[in-house]
Amino acid sequence: MIIIMETNSTREQSQRVIDFLEKNGFQVRYNIGEVHTVIDALGDKTTITPGRIAAFDGVKEVKVIREPYRLASRDRKSEDTIIEFKNGVKIGGTNRPVIIAGPCSVEDDYNSLKEIAQAVKECGGQFLRGGAFKPRTSPYDFQGYGEKALKYLKQASEETGLLTVSEVMDASDLDMMIDYVDVLQIGARNVQNFRLLKAVGKCNKPVILKRGLSSTIREFLLAAEHIMYNGNNQVILCERGIRSFDSDFTRNVMDIASIPVIKKYSHLPIIVDPSHGTGQRYLIEPLSKAGLVVGASGIMIEVHNDPENALSDGKQSLPIPMFKDVMKNINSFMDKI
């Protein structure tokens, strides 16, 4: 790490930092200057964290050189992580991007779900997504049908051959959920729910981890690191838009550049979710294509047989006929690029 001292710090303050680092086994290079003092220290940051050095008097800033995630880093594993499912579907690397689609929430009508699942299958999708537990900003909003929803999801999966994806909101649900879903999803609001990350890290199930509304790319990769650190390397990142100063026309701002950035610094696959990323039906096709062209390993789309009666997120869900049109264009686009 690099320690930058305040310009008005004293020689003694710098020396205290240097002595402390050397005492703790760091290799230290420094130049106590008239104008500025910079200390470069090489050593084990798990014992002496940057935060401890920052607390010394006279320190202006501590800059860590190496990216703080390790297991998620391409430095440690240069080849792309590829996640393979029992039925041969693969996510990541040079595999054709996957399609994950379905209703925001699984509702209390199996036939609707089946109709949606059949449309997903027909359009070449591999995964059926559907919420059983819904994080909702207001306690007065619909919170999902729980296990019943998961049962429907599994049934639809068995009838269509689609794999299933559903969000886990709490570690205590994991045991039950494991039987129903092929991929666990962690929502944007739980990206720093570290207990949940830990619990999911102990499962042997692929995980879709959504970027938080205000996660930096580095924090996002550190959230993945929490899962991997606990033993689960099957992490699929998902860009779903970040919060900005402008939400007049789109719910969030899709940070499309995060996809090639993450592919440069990490070996993990990353997919895009234009439904949550934009909150607008008419933007799903263009933003899906934008995600694909920059290297996304999949897209996640909300589709509903009757959006006007959807219990959540109807505005951004595609009606089935529109979904079919969009998928036709996306499939043809994937063939071309």
Site for a copy of itself in 44-73 (CB under 8 A): 45-46, 49, 51-52, 54-56, 59, 63, 65-70
Q: How many CB atoms lie within 10 A of CB 195?
A: 11
- Among 80, 261, 324, 325, indicate the residue that binds a copy of itself (CB under 8 A): 261
Which of 162/262 has CB closer to a copy of itself?
A: 262
For residue 160, what are the contacts with CB-CB under 8 A and spacing of at least 6?
A: 117, 118, 120, 121, 128
Binding region for a copy of itself (CB under 8 A) out of 113-121, 122-130, 141-149, 174-182? 141-149
- Among 315, 324, 325, 334, indicate the residue that binds a copy of itself (CB under 8 A): 315
- The secondary structure element, H or E, covering residue 197 is helix 194-201
Rounded CA separation 274/107 (Å): 22
Residue 30 CB, nearest distance to a copy of itself (Å)?
A: 9
Site for a copy of itself in 210-239 (CB under 8 A): 213-214, 216-219, 222, 225-226, 229-230
- Among 85, 151, 314, 324, indicate the residue that binds a copy of itself (CB under 8 A): 314
Residue 135 CB, nearest distance to a copy of itself (Å)?
A: 5
Residue 6 CB, nearest distance to a copy of itself (Å)?
A: 10
Binding region for a copy of itself (CB under 8 A) out of 85-93, 119-127, 154-162, 256-264? 256-264
Rounded CA separation 132/151 (Å): 10
Q: In terms of Cα–Cα distance, which of 83, 64, 284 is closest to 165?
A: 83
Site for a copy of itself in 151-170 (CB under 8 A): 169-170
Residue 86 CB, nearest distance to a copy of itself (Å)?
A: 29
Rounded CA separation 119/208 (Å): 22
Residue 159 CB, nearest distance to a copy of itself (Å)?
A: 27
Are residues 225 and 72 in contact, defined by beta-carbon separation less than 8 angstroms?
Answer: yes
Chain centroid, CA 335 distance in Å: 26
Q: In terms of Cα–Cα distance, which of 210, 193, 219 is closest to 252?
A: 210
Chain centroid, CA 301 distance in Å: 15
Does the footprint of a copy of itself cover residue 309 (CB under 8 A)? Answer: yes
Residue 62 CB, nearest distance to a copy of itself (Å)?
A: 9
Chain centroid, CA 121 distance in Å: 24
Which of 164/190 has CB closer to a copy of itself?
A: 190
Residue 96 CB, nearest distance to a copy of itself (Å)?
A: 17
x-marked contacts with a copy of itself along 170-199 as a string, rule CB under 8 A: xxx----------------xx-xxxx----
Beta partners for 239?
A: 272
Residue 35 is encoded by which pair of tokens? 């104008």
Are residues 83 and 92 in contact, defined by beta-carbon separation less than 8 angstroms?
Answer: yes
